[in-house]
Amino acid sequence: GQQLNQSPQSMFIQEGEDVSMNCTSSSIFNTWLWYKQDPGEGPVLLIALYKAGELTSNGRLTAQFGITRKDSFLNISASIPSDVGIYFCAGQLQGAGSYQLTFGKGTKLSVIP
């Protein structure tokens, strides 16, 4: 199956700090998605990327679709306590007729007030 490595697995940061996490794949993707999941809830879409090199922001969040199509990163600036949760990346293979997204294992973010 496809491999998608997400790092770091977990992070403890001070409120106000910036955060960076990334995903790398062994295959080329044509779509990268970033989700956040709060405890007991479903993942909520944060940012969707459809084009290599694309840099997209959503408030304090910025994500980029790597130029090689094999990686993506998510940055959170000036973290606040409500940023706590698990962040997942997901990618869809290029040219695949499949409906399947490949998900990373998640980055668990803890923010210390």
Residue ranges that bind other proteins, judged by CB under 8 A = 4, 31, 33, 35, 40-45, 48, 50, 88, 90, 92, 98-106
Contacts of 7 (CB under 8 A, 6+ apart): 21, 22, 23, 107
Task: Name the minimum Å distance from CB 75 to other proteins.
Answer: 20
Task: State how far the Cα of 74 lies from the Cα of 26, in Å rounded to an integer.
Answer: 19
Task: Name the minimum Å distance from CB 92 to other proteins.
Answer: 6
Task: Name the minimum Å distance from CB 72 to other proteins.
Answer: 14
User: In the structure encoding, which two tokens stand for residue 82, read together?
Assistant: 């409500």
